[in-house]
């Protein structure tokens, strides 16, 4: 049995806890904007980035010798950041990668690793054993403020994209209200 469910919390208390977690996620997003504003391309160092953002979720090699730091804000956040560091150890760019442009780049046949590096860590990974598929989902905001999910189905054997699509987030208040 889930020990959290066994605790003597009322429905109202659990609702308050969930509201508090949502507020914390919103505040974290606000903190990110402040941190980003304090970094300067060509000036800020890797140490500056790590001081502001902490340890990256992943680090990989980028074009021209850049190192890419991934800062994931999934599953509760609606953004994923990639911070590019130049060969001189200085900041090149901070990118929010959950964008319509990047979603259009996800095409059938693309390898799972390529999608992961393009969009960052997903909010949810769901295996469908009988269908021999794995689905990755990322939560994001479509301007001006629509909560969305970008979903990618991968072939379980080859780990390549079968299909990808965006939809209104079924967990959003708009979706539950039938809007």
pLDDT tens per residue across span 149-164: 999 999 988 999 999 9
Q: Edge-to-edge, what's the strand order for the sheet holding 91-96?
A: 58-61, 67-72, 80-85, 91-96
Q: Does domain 100-176 have CATH number 3.30.70.580?
A: no
| Separation between Cα atoms, residue 116 and residue 105, nearest integer Å | 12
pTM of this structure? 0.77
Burial status of residue 83 (CB atoms within 10 A of its CB: 0-12, 13-18, 19 or more): buried
Retrieve residue 103's tokens: 């979603």
| Separation between Cα atoms, residue 51 and residue 74, nearest integer Å | 21
Q: 15-96: what fold?
A: Beta-lactamase Inhibitory Protein; Chain:B, domain 1 (3.30.1450)
Looking up tokens 């949502």 gives: 22
* Domain parsing of the chain, residue ranges: 15-96, 100-176
Whether pLDDT at 14 is above 70: no
């Amino acid at each position: 049995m889930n020990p959290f469910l066994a605790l003597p919390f009322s429905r109202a208390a659990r609702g308050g806890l969930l509201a508090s977690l949502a507020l914390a996620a919103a505040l974290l997003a606000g903190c990110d904007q402040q941190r980003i504003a304090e970094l300067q391309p060509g000036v800020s160092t890797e140490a500056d980035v790590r001081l502001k953002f902490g340890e990256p979720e992943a680090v990989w090699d980028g074009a021209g010798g850049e190192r890419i730091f991934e800062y994931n804000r999934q599953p509760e956040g609606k953004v994923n950041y990639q911070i590019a560091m130049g060969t001189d150890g200085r900041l090149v760019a901070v990118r929010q990668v959950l964008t319509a442009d990047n979603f259009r780049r996800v095409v059938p046949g693309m390898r799972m690793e390529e999608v992961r590096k393009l969009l960052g860590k997903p909010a949810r990974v769901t295996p469908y054993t009988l269908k021999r598929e794995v689905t990755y989902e990322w939560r994001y905001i479509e301007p001006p403020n629509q909560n969305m999910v970008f979903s990618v189905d991968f072939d379980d054997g080859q780990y390549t994209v079968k299909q990808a699509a965006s939809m209104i987030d079924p967990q959003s208040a708009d979706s539950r209200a039938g809007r």
